[in-house]
Structure 1
Amino acid sequence: MRIKVETRQDGDVDVPRRFCLNGDQVDVFEMVDQWFGADYRYCKVKGSDGALYILRHDELRSEWCLTMFASERAQAVTAGWNSPSQSAIVKGVLQ
């Protein structure tokens, strides 16, 4: 999903500062990780809403896309997964 991202300069690269998702503005609270490819870059960020996002920047097209989203609730639930039986219980709760 393409999204509009406002960036800031961090050394030699632009990093996400905030972005719009479904009409809502999400400020980047923390840059968790980033990794590079030949013509793209992925940024794993924590939003001001507590959710985790992975944003992909296509360097050639200068476009940003959302590739992964995990809400704060989903992160809390999955953090407690220690065994397959707990995973099945949690999965049933979320459905």
Structure 2
Amino acid sequence: MLYVLATLLLAGEHQLPDGARHGVSRMPSRTKEQPQSSFPKGIGKPAQRALASVGVSRLDQVTRFTEAQLMALHGMGPKAIGLIKAVLQADGKTLARGE
């Protein structure tokens, strides 16, 4: 089978798709640009997924939650909470107060 394919290619009767002759892959690139996150730099993916699980897609939406509520989310930790609080404070905002 390989001999037949090689013979046909050498005879010029069939052509491989562009790039296939030299082993060039036509696979899509994995380096596509990711959309900018609305969360501060340094917030890990687990924390971002935790926030998304409660409907938070922008940092200003975090202000409706208390620190305890955020800490209860799987994926949120002290580092993420600290970064969020620092960015909110710089914007003159805070997390909701516990009752």
Looking at both structures, which has the greater relative contact order when contacts are Cα pairs under 8 Å and sequence separation is at least 6? Answer: 2
Q: Which has the higher strand share?
A: 1
Q: Report the structure, 1 or 2, having the larger helix content.
A: 2
Instruction: Compare CA radii of gyration and give the structure with the larger one.
Output: 2
TM-score of the superposed pair, with normalisation by structure 2: 0.20
